Amino acid sequence: MYVLALRVWQFRNYEQAQLEFSPQLNIFVGANAQGKTNLLEALYYLSTLRPLRPVRESDLVRWGATETRLSVRFVREELTDELQLRLPLQTKRQVWLNGEPVSRQSSLVGYLGTVCFTAQDLQIVRGEPADRRRFLDTEIALLSHRYLYSLAHYKRALEQRNNLLRAYQEGIGTLDSLPEWNAQLVKYGARLFHSRKQFLERLTHSAQGVHSALTGEQERLELLYQPGLPIGTTLLEKEEDWHEAFVQALHQAERDEVRRATTLVGPHRDDFAIQIGGYDARLFGSQGQQRTCALSLRLSEVPLFESIKGEPPVVLLDDVFSDLDPERRARLVAFLQPRAQTLITCTDLTPFSPELIAQSAIFHVSAGSVQRDERA
Ligand SMILES: Nc1ncnc2c1ncn2[C@@H]1O[C@H](COP(=O)(O)OP(=O)(O)OP(=O)(O)O)[C@@H](O)[C@H]1O
Ligand SMILES: [Mg+2]
């Protein structure tokens, strides 16, 4: 999959811009706050229908404008598709695929496949368990609609169960419906445990390959699932086993849960450890090692996506080179090229070798305007 051309109108700091890409490496260079990340965000938004950064969708509309419009042409399964999007401030978002209006917009999520690394991804390594669960959830959801469905039902059951426990503690409710919510919690929770365990095995394999490529086989990455159940380090194989273990754990925790008015066991307490050569990368990794781990985890989506869809996604790398030494930078580029179309933002071209610059499309970004360097 690769993007041929992008047009934006009134998007972030762009009044209007039009770009044609190389199917291989594209480098966006410019000073801070000129609009480099905004360009990646335009593609990310067309791919996921979500902003790249945690803002409201309406924040994507250029300040002072009443709507934004985007249009992208890309090659998918060897055919050219065109996706157009209009986001007015006053009414709903509209999307067209090859000129036809799309009514179920959620079906278009991932139609243009992208994998995006931003500085925010460092939180997968450095952040809280919730950051890692979010990473797992988005990755698994890419592969399985059933997972998304189970996750939504689990969250609802958890919320209802916690409301019930709170109401009971405040003396304004009974525990009569607790068994019902337990049943829901366990049904969907067991699926989440099972899927996350299986997915982490797959992810480990894929991320190990990337990590070993980025470190020149110097470091070995391990991911260890730590489920939110008191089952020690033994991981269960079947969904029924997770079901059983969850039922037991809930039973054991019930008195505590009633006292503390919250659910203490379940996949909402999951985490996974990230180890390099046997030690915890979060606690002992250097800046560069942590960044490399985060990159390996995010980029593991590339081979996963390829194995499922039969073609690589478009790779968006926002400001990825800070903290990586020249060797790791070179290995990163070698891992991605010519495998997948890649778009990289950076503040200057020094990290790139003259050969690479000669092979790439270079775009200069300045105050919401983009110029492709025609000499390159
Ligand atoms: N809705 C909007 N309307 C107008 N300008 C906006 C809007 N949203 C963001 N901006 C501006 O866009 C500018 C460029 O943002 P962007 O994140 O793309 O910069 P960048 O080139 O990636 O910079 P850096 O190198 O610092 O990451 C910012 O200064 C921001 O204030
Ligand atoms: Mg930026």
Segment 124-145 shows an average pLDDT of 91
> Which residue's CA is the nearest one to ligand 1's atom 26?
32
Ligand 1 within 6 A of 12 CB?
A: yes
3-state DSSP assignment of residue 7: strand
Same domain, 134 and 239: yes
3-state secondary structure labels for all residues of 347-369: CCCCCCCHHHHHHCEEEEEECCE
Q: Which atom belonging to ligand 1 lies closest to the Cα atom of 63? A: 3
Residue 142 has pLDDT above 80, yes or no: no
Ligand 1 within 6 A of 211 CB?
A: no
Q: Which CA distances in Å does 24 have to 19, 177, 214, 366?
A: 14, 57, 19, 23
Residue 350 has pLDDT above 80, yes or no: yes
Taking residue 275's Cβ as centre, other Cβ atoms within 10 Å add up to: 18
Ligand 1 within 6 A of 33 CB?
A: yes
What is the pLDDT, as a whole number, of residue 121?
Answer: 94
**pLDDT, mean over the chain:** 94
8 A C-beta contact, residue 102 and residue 157: no
> Which residue's CA is the nearest one to ligand 1's atom 16?
35
**Residue 46 belongs to domain with CATH number:** 3.40.50.300
Q: Which atom belonging to ligand 1 lies closest to the Cα atom of 39? A: 18
Ligand nearest to the backbone CA of 41: 1
Residue 234 has pLDDT above 80, yes or no: no
Residue 143 has pLDDT above 90, yes or no: no
Residue 75 has pLDDT above 80, yes or no: yes
Same domain, 108 and 137: no
Residue 33 has pLDDT above 80, yes or no: yes
What is the pLDDT, as a whole number, of residue 375?
Answer: 66
**Mind listing the pLDDT tens digit for each residue in 245-264?**
999 999 999 999 999 999 99
> Which residue's CA is the nearest one to ligand 1's atom 24?
32
Ligand 1 within 6 A of 32 CB?
A: yes
> Which residue's CA is the nearest one to ligand 1's atom 12?
13
Q: Percentage of the chain surpassing pLDDT 70? A: 99
State how beta strands 100-101 and 94-97 pair. Answer: antiparallel
Taking residue 18's Cβ as centre, other Cβ atoms within 10 Å add up to: 12
Q: Kindly report the pTM of this predicted structure.
A: 0.91
Residue 154 has pLDDT above 90, yes or no: yes
What is the pLDDT, as a whole number, of residue 18?
Answer: 97
Taking residue 104's Cβ as centre, other Cβ atoms within 10 Å add up to: 7
Q: What is the DSSP string of 67-97?
A: EEEEEEEEEETTEEEEEEEEEESSS--EEEE
Distance CA 157, CA 188 (A): 9
- Asked if residue 295 is part of any domain, the answer here is no
Beta bridge partners of 29: 346, 364
Ligand 1 within 6 A of 62 CB?
A: yes
Distance CA 296, CA 292 (A): 6
> Which residue's CA is the nearest one to ligand 1's atom 28?
33
What are the start-end ranges of the H helices in 73-144?
A: 122-126, 129-143
- Asked if residue 254 is part of any domain, the answer here is yes
| H-run or E-run covering 59 | none
Residue 8 has pLDDT above 90, yes or no: yes
- Asked if residue 293 is part of any domain, the answer here is no
Same domain, 107 and 131: no
- The lowest-confidence range among 189-198, 224-233, 276-285 is 224-233
Same domain, 104 and 129: no
- Residue 199 or 144, more confident: 199
DSSP state of 176: T
Both structure tokens of 149: 């469905």
Ligand 1 within 6 A of 237 CB?
A: no
> Which residue's CA is the nearest one to ligand 1's atom 27?
32
Ligand 1 within 6 A of 328 CB?
A: no
Count of domains for the chain: 2
End-to-end CA separation in angstroms for the chain = 23
Residue 233 has pLDDT above 70, yes or no: no
Same domain, 79 and 41: yes
What is the pLDDT, as a whole number, of residue 145?
Answer: 79
Ligand 1 within 6 A of 123 CB?
A: no
Distance CA 285, CA 293 (A): 9
Distance CA 313, CA 44 (A): 12
Q: Which atom belonging to ligand 1 lies closest to the Cα atom of 65? A: 3
8 A C-beta contact, residue 214 and residue 328: yes
Q: 173 lies in which domain range?
A: 125-282
CA of 102 to the centre of ligand 2 (A): 31
Same domain, 148 and 247: yes
Residue 161's pLDDT band, with cuts at 50, 70 and 90, is: very high
- Asked if residue 298 is part of any domain, the answer here is no
- Asked if residue 256 is part of any domain, the answer here is yes
DSSP state of 121: G
Same domain, 278 and 138: yes
What is the pLDDT, as a whole number, of residue 266?
Answer: 97
Segment 342-356 shows an average pLDDT of 91
Segment 120-139 shows an average pLDDT of 94
- Asked if residue 307 is part of any domain, the answer here is no
What are the start-end ranges of the H helices in the chain?
A: 36-48, 122-126, 129-143, 145-169, 178-214, 239-260, 281-284, 287-299, 301-309, 326-336, 354-359
Count of residues in the chain: 376
Residue 376 has pLDDT above 60, yes or no: no
Ligand 1 within 6 A of 120 CB?
A: no
